[in-house]
Amino acid sequence: MSHDLDEADVRILRCLQQDASVSMDELAARTNLSRNACWRRVKLLEERRIIRGRVALIDPDAVGLGLSVFVIIRTSAHEEGWLAKFEEAVRTLPEIQGAHRMTGDIDYVLRLRVADVTGYDRFYKRLIAKVPISDISASFVMEDIKESTALPI
């Protein structure tokens, strides 16, 4: 394992990826550690930013955001000013769940959650008002076959 993780750290991380709300007593029991040893390890993993935060995973359909969209962006502008505007736009548009700069023919891929196609259209208009984009296309997810937040450690 990288980052000098031992087996106990890996057991903690695997457990927390499945349920970060587990009590420290339960986490210690599941990882075969004492409560104090487990607590110290979790705190160290947080200090080292291996554990970056703890969140609740919300059902998108339950909150009216049932449409997942992948947006492919190509741009002819690669100067620093354009990039700063684009990064600012990405940070301020809450529909964007992930933004990735790519190699190859595609410059950027965005992963969005919106209510419906109309919601995507509103997003699209706000994005292009913030930054000029040469080419943009969207693909709407028909079915989620697998979606996970857990890393394969």
> For the domain that residue 65 is a member of, what is the CATH number?
3.30.70.920
Please, what's the largest Cα pairwise distance for the chain? 57
Q: Is the pTM of this model over 0.85?
A: yes
Kindly report the average pLDDT of the chain as a whole number: 95
Count of beta carbons in the 10 Å neighbourhood of residue 38: 23
Tell me if 87 is assigned to some domain: yes
In a domain, 148, yes or no: no
Residues 65 and 101 in one domain: yes
How does pLDDT run across 11-43, given as a tens digit for each residue? 999 999 999 999 999 999 999 999 999 999 999
Torsion of CA 84, 86, 91, 97, to 10 degrees: -140
**In a 3-state reduction of DSSP, which class is residue 80?**
helix
For residue 42, give its domain range. Answer: 7-47
Q: How many domains does the chain have?
A: 2
Tell me whether residue 147 is in a domain.
no
111, containing H or E segment: strand 108-114
CATH code, 26: 1.10.10.10
Per-residue model confidence (pLDDT) at position 2: 58
